[in-house]
Chains A and B, each alone.
Chain A
Amino acid sequence: MMENQLKIFIDGIVNYFHHTNDSSVFVGSPYLINDLDEISSDYTGSIAISGSYEGACHFTAPSALVRHLILSFGETDTSESMISDTVGEVANTLSGNARQKLGKGFNISTPTISKGRPCDTPTRADHSRIYAIPISWKSYKAALGIHLN
């Protein structure tokens, strides 16, 4: 079950990058971390998960990756707000993809964007481990952080 949820989020991020002009996105082997800080980059888009599972999914990426992503879509505005919007859009796409596949029992919130260290969600009060999934696109490294109880 847990594998399915993780796979849906991974597929979501891969599909997102497949829509760029450089679709060669690589997913590393998932591993476990105890703190989001271990993977957090410049910008993090987070969505809260509730329903059958309680938890959150975070997409964290360096600003350079997001800027490059923006340019690859033909946009020229790479301002800070645009970077935030794009990280939010990635998280939103993940959310929409997961909602579509998991249905009613899997509730997903609208994304929140944080710059720097992301806020941990209250649902991880038990300090359960987080699944870290490394993402490589071009020469950049991003990651998904997922924890579900």
Chain B
Amino acid sequence: MNFLGRYTSIIITTIIFLALVIGVLGTNFYLSFQTEANAEVVNIAGRQRMLSQRIAKSLSNVNSRYQNSRKYTQQLTELENAAHLFNTTLLAFKNGGVTQSTKSGLTRLPPVSESAGIAAIEDALVLWQPLNASIGEISLSLQETNTAQNDELNSQLLSTAHAYADQNINALLGLMNDLTNHSESIANDAADRSRLIQTVGILASLICFTVIMYLILGQLRVADLARQRARQETDQIFETVSQGLFLIDREGAMGRQQSKALESIFGVKLDAGRNFKNFIAPLLSVDDLTKVERYLKLLFDPHKKQRLLVDLNPLNKLPIQIEERGLIKNKYLNFTFNRVSRDGKIIGILTSVADITNEVKLERELAAETVRNEQQFEMIKVLLSADGELLPDFLKSSSHTYEKINNILKDPARTSLAFKKKAVSILALVHKTKGESAAMGLNFISSLCHEFEDEIEHLQNKPSVSGDDFISLTVMLERLMSTNEQIDSLFNALNTPTIDKATPNSESSDTHSSLTELAQSIAARQGKKVYLSLAGLENLNLPSSTRLNVISMASQLLRNALSHGIEKPATRVMRGKNEEGKITLALFEENNHDYKLVCEDDGNGFDFDTLRKKAFANGLVSEKDRTQLKPNELLSLTINNSLSSKPSADQDAGRGMGLKVINDLTKDLGGKLALQTKSQEGSRFTVRF
């Protein structure tokens, strides 16, 4: 309907044009017949002129021959034929009728209708009829037997007829000439009409054709303008749209029209007609490419609903790498596919490609930031309750420890034994940090250190150790270093008066509460009950680095006493003790700047038997020497060889590192370590520095 509406004027004018052409052709056809007929009439009229002369001549010949007694049969026949044809034709002109054609056969003449013609015919009949009657009589008379009487009659008839002919034949000729001229005039009028009609028809057709051409060209111009405008709009869209747009046909070929952004997205110009699968193949794994092929097939399947296919799109957040000016650039692209249909048939897929690199990066940064914030929040909570004065020293000390660990990792090693030695060296360092962080209440660090220790233990238990077995340790070291940096950054950001101007009381209460909390958490983990008595650890008039060592040592001694000394409540009750064990941690200033740190528990006492067995099992002493080992020798062996009386390691003890760390810290302080112990009664560690 819309199509018809748009082209109505063209259709109507075309119909008119065709009607005109048909009319002109039909008229032309008819007039050509008419002209031919008119020409025949003119020829026949002209023949009447000739016949009038022939009749006169034949009559004269018959008369002459008859008077001279010569043969006249042929002349008479000519006369009879000419008279008959003249008469028939003249009557046909008058009334309409059939006569001899000038060509061959018969022809029908229409009656002359114009007055001039009718008058000529009527006058001719007046002259002709007496002559025709005479010729008829002559013809009959001459056919009768030739007698004298007859001869005279014939002679008289011929003479009379001849005389009549001589007298009137010119007039008859003139009338026939008038008839001819009249017929010619009619024919000419008809020809003029025919020309006029043809000229008008052709002119009308030409005008109609011109109108048609004008309308068609107008429509084409309008269509061209619309197309040009649409093309310009499309080009503008394709020039400015930030997404890559192109069509994929059923064969998988990419269309000619592509948005400009496509080139910048992929870094290359995409050839029209290139197969999409071949283009995308280098960016995908074989599996993903197969998925894309399947997906395109589904998109071209009219039985599958497009909205249900959206979730199956395999080209969502596609990571790609392109080279731009010699640099490899990573990008994320989102492909969306929409069917293009015509007459209900899917003819292509409009594909849009969006560069979502920034969105993906932002999304990731946001996720990472959220995690960081959560971690920082946890850290802030811990840091707010930590000893503000000791924290920088802890950070400094632990950073130094991490550097030491990194240097140990860096040291060249090729044998399994060398690698295991590395592990042992690292273990002691990590254990120290674990103790310090626990004493500071920085549990997230002590947990990381504990994982570190687990990994080292795993290494130590392996029959053979190589460099790549240290990957996990290095990754954990990185985490520890990063955590330190985060704490440092947070601590600086939180360097508020609350922390900065911490009072001695608050410091000591921080230390006391951290140690109490540490004692209770270890006791809870081990199913023990403990009462911790703290003294002298407040108001320490010591440099902060020394204070950190003292607190670290206090936490190691506490961990040791709880893990190895204090028994489980049931055992204690069995031994007649209070089910709650008691640990006393006290720092005394003996002389000026001489200190004594004492850790005393009422637990199991040093388990020398177990240590002797472990020393033997580890090949440190012979069977014989084992029984003769004195307590101080056994203590030295324990410290230097990481022996532990616990059958297995847990988060708090069992790796034989505690005493080693205490010993190392004592050495760092330039002090001495002493042990007093009694089986099932308890132990007392004294550190003098």
Interface size class of B (residues with CB under 8 A): 20 to 34
B589 to chain A, nearest CB (A): 42
Q: Does A20 contact B (CB under 8 A)?
A: no
- B74: A residues at CB distance < 8 A: none
Q: Does A93 contact B (CB under 8 A)?
A: no
Contact A30 B474 (CB under 8 A): yes
Q: Does B217 contact A (CB under 8 A)?
A: no
B284 to chain A, nearest CB (A): 7
Contact A134 to B467, CB < 8 A, known contacts A28-B412, A109-B321: yes
Residue of B nearest to A38 (CB): B410
Number of residues from A at the complex interface, CB < 8 A: 31
Distance A134 CA – B422 CA, assembled complex (angstroms):
15
Most buried by B among A6, A27, A28, A122: A28
Contact A32 to B481, CB < 8 A, known contacts A50-B321, A107-B320: yes
Distance A63 CA – B83 CA, assembled complex (angstroms):
137
Contact A30 B467 (CB under 8 A): yes
Contact A7 B330 (CB under 8 A): no
Contact A26 B285 (CB under 8 A): no
| Residue in contact with B471 in the complex, picked from A30, A122, A129, A134, CB distance below 8 Å | A30
Q: Does A131 contact B (CB under 8 A)?
A: yes
Contact B321 A48 (CB under 8 A): yes
Q: Does B103 contact A (CB under 8 A)?
A: no
Q: Does B319 contact A (CB under 8 A)?
A: yes
Q: Does A82 contact B (CB under 8 A)?
A: no
| Residue in contact with A29 in the complex, picked from B321, B330, B409, CB distance below 8 Å | B409
Contact B330 A54 (CB under 8 A): yes
- B330: A residues at CB distance < 8 A: 48, 50-51, 54, 107, 109
Distance A133 CA – B472 CA, assembled complex (angstroms):
13
Residue of A nearest to B407 (CB): A31
Contact B288 A109 (CB under 8 A): no
| Residue in contact with A104 in the complex, picked from B285, B323, B412, CB distance below 8 Å | B285
Contact B475 A104 (CB under 8 A): no
Residues of chain B in range 400-423 having any CB-CB distance to chain A below 8 Å: 406-407, 409-410, 412-414, 419, 422
Contact A131 to B284, CB < 8 A, known contacts A48-B330, A112-B328: no
Residue of A nearest to B414 (CB): A26
Query: What does DSSP make chain B's interface, helix, strand, loop or mixed?
Result: helix
Residue of B nearest to A46 (CB): B328
B328 to chain A, nearest CB (A): 4
Distance A51 CA – B471 CA, assembled complex (angstroms):
22
Q: Does A103 contact B (CB under 8 A)?
A: yes
- B410: A residues at CB distance < 8 A: 29, 31, 132
Q: Does A74 contact B (CB under 8 A)?
A: no
Distance A29 CA – B407 CA, assembled complex (angstroms):
11
Q: Does B451 contact A (CB under 8 A)?
A: no
Contact A31 B474 (CB under 8 A): yes
Contact B319 A129 (CB under 8 A): no
Hey, what's the 0/1 contact readout for A107-139 against B, CB within 8 Å counting as 1? 111101000000000100000010111101000
Distance A26 CA – B471 CA, assembled complex (angstroms):
14
Distance A32 CA – B478 CA, assembled complex (angstroms):
7
- B409: A residues at CB distance < 8 A: 29-32
Residue of A nearest to B322 (CB): A109
Contact A7 B471 (CB under 8 A): yes
Distance A6 CA – B478 CA, assembled complex (angstroms):
13
| Residue in contact with B468 in the complex, picked from A7, A103, A108, CB distance below 8 Å | A7
Hey, what's the 0/1 contact readout for B461-487 against A, CB within 8 Å counting as 1? 000001111111111011001000000
Hey, what's the 0/1 contact readout for A1-34 against B, CB within 8 Å counting as 1? 0110011001000000000000000111111100
A16 to chain B, nearest CB (A): 15
Distance A28 CA – B407 CA, assembled complex (angstroms):
13
A15 to chain B, nearest CB (A): 13
Hey, what's the 0/1 contact readout for A91-105 against B, CB within 8 Å counting as 1? 000000000000111
Distance A110 CA – B327 CA, assembled complex (angstroms):
10
A146 to chain B, nearest CB (A): 10
- B422: A residues at CB distance < 8 A: 29
Distance A103 CA – B419 CA, assembled complex (angstroms):
33
Contact A129 B468 (CB under 8 A): no
Distance A48 CA – B468 CA, assembled complex (angstroms):
22
- B412: A residues at CB distance < 8 A: 28, 134
Contact A27 B321 (CB under 8 A): no
Contact B406 A31 (CB under 8 A): yes
Distance A18 CA – B368 CA, assembled complex (angstroms):
39
- B474: A residues at CB distance < 8 A: 6, 29-32, 131
- A129: B residues at CB distance < 8 A: 478, 481
- A133: B residues at CB distance < 8 A: 467-468
Residue of A nearest to B368 (CB): A149
Contact B319 A107 (CB under 8 A): yes
B247 to chain A, nearest CB (A): 26
Residue of A nearest to B473 (CB): A29
Contact B468 A32 (CB under 8 A): no
Contact A27 to B481, CB < 8 A, known contacts A109-B321, A110-B328: no
Distance A32 CA – B485 CA, assembled complex (angstroms):
15
Hey, what's the 0/1 contact readout for B85-102 against A, CB within 8 Å counting as 1? 000000000000000000
Contact B285 A103 (CB under 8 A): yes
- B467: A residues at CB distance < 8 A: 26-30, 133-134
Hey, what's the 0/1 contact readout for B379-414 against A, CB within 8 Å counting as 1? 000000000000000000000000000110110111
B364 to chain A, nearest CB (A): 9
Contact A3 B471 (CB under 8 A): yes
Contact A32 to B319, CB < 8 A, known contacts A3-B475, A26-B467: no
- A103: B residues at CB distance < 8 A: 285
- B288: A residues at CB distance < 8 A: 104
A9 to chain B, nearest CB (A): 10
Sample (28) of A-B pairs whose CB atoms are under 8 Å apart: A3-B471, A7-B468, A10-B468, A10-B471, A26-B414, A27-B466, A28-B413, A29-B469, A29-B473, A29-B474, A30-B474, A31-B407, A31-B409, A31-B474, A32-B474, A48-B321, A48-B330, A54-B330, A103-B285, A104-B288, A107-B320, A109-B328, A109-B330, A110-B323, A131-B475, A131-B478, A133-B467, A133-B468
Additional 20 contacts, C-beta under 8 A, given A29-B410, A105-B319: A3-B471, A3-B472, A6-B475, A7-B471, A27-B467, A28-B467, A29-B413, A29-B467, A29-B469, A31-B406, A31-B474, A32-B406, A32-B409, A32-B474, A48-B321, A50-B319, A51-B319, A107-B320, A133-B467, A133-B468
Q: Could you tell me which B residues sit within 8 Å of A by CB distance?
A: 284-285, 288, 319-321, 323, 327-328, 330, 406-407, 409-410, 412-414, 419, 422, 466-475, 477-478, 481
> Which 10 residue pairs spanning A and B have beta carbons closest together?
A50-B330, A29-B470, A109-B328, A31-B409, A27-B467, A30-B474, A28-B467, A31-B410, A51-B319, A29-B467
